[in-house]
Amino acid sequence: MRVRANGIDIHYVEAGQGVPLVVLDNAFASSNPIWEGQPFAYASFIGTFAEHFRVIAPDTRGSGRTVHPGGPIPYTLLADDVVALIGALDLDPPVVCGFSDGGETATLVGIREPESVRAIVNHGGYDLFNPDPQAPTIVMTRQMLGGRPDATEADLEALARLSEQSRDLRSMFQLMEADHDSAHGSGHWQTVITQTFPRISQPHGYTSDDLQAITAPTLILVGDRDPFCTVEEGAIAYRALQDGELAVLPNTGHMITPAAVRVTIDFFQRRLVA
């Protein structure tokens, strides 16, 4: 399905009934079933969420089957896309969850338009609230996607070399190629990486102090072995919230697991009843 919102046609999948839940993947993934079975996408869990909510899972601007006309894609633009999507579908204020890149977007929706959402789960998507551009996780991102810690743009050759050494990365890039290129043409998966790099390789201008603007109940969810969003950073984000919770998943890295989905559903159900 598609809806016109914020000047673009946003593709989304919908399942279930009840309170609307907007599910935000990271930009490398999408709602395409091709991502089922992958721990860095929500595709495997749409059915589980749909047992409790009316699920709306949009493709991020430029990814999946949502077109981006060109130019930078900052988090503020992605947050505005989500707010416009909520309005275009005439949703009662939904609950929103996001993983990684999607967690940043979900949280900025709460900051920029506090009345637009009823509750938020930020799963491993708060590292860019650290204003230091030399923070270890941000440097790690530049090293991984740009080939060096001071990179200012994606380095596709360095990524190719890295993927040769990592089966998980190689699998992700193959899925990106099959997903994004089928919708936008050959080589678009590399465009997605190039467009995403500036957004995730530098702080986005908001800090943990801005989290105080969120009025909706918000859960900070993190794995205790997540190299990108640490437990310590999660505690800082949690303490900055007006109405927050912090959940730490044991023996878990930067991934979506059945346990993470159960915690997310439980949080929303408890807060909706309250």
Distance CA 79, CA 107 (A): 8
**How does pLDDT run across 129-148, given as a tens digit for each residue?**
999 999 999 999 999 999 99
User: Model pTM?
Assistant: 0.97
pLDDT band, residue 21 (cuts 50/70/90): very high
- pLDDT given for residue 27 in this prediction: 87
Percentage with pLDDT > 70 across the chain: 100
- pLDDT given for residue 165 in this prediction: 86
Listed by start position, the domains of the chain span 2-132+206-273
**How does pLDDT run across 190-237, given as a tens digit for each residue?**
999 999 999 999 999 999 999 999 999 999 999 999 999 999 999 999
- pLDDT given for residue 168 in this prediction: 82
**How does pLDDT run across 102-135, given as a tens digit for each residue?**
999 999 999 999 999 999 999 999 999 999 999 9
Q: Are 142 and 201 in contact (CB under 8 A)?
A: yes
Per DSSP bridges, beta strands 2-5 and 244-249 are unpaired
**What's the number of CA atoms in the CB half-sphere (13 Å) around residue 177?**
9
Question: Which CATH number is correct for 2-132+206-273, 3.40.50.1820, 3.40.50.620, 2.30.42.10, 1.10.8.50?
Answer: 3.40.50.1820
Q: Cα–Cα distances in Å, from 88 out to 4, 7, 114, 243, 271? A: 7, 11, 17, 28, 25
Distance CA 10, CA 26 (A): 15
Q: Which of 21-30, 64-73, 162-171, 185-194 has the lowest mean pLDDT?
A: 162-171
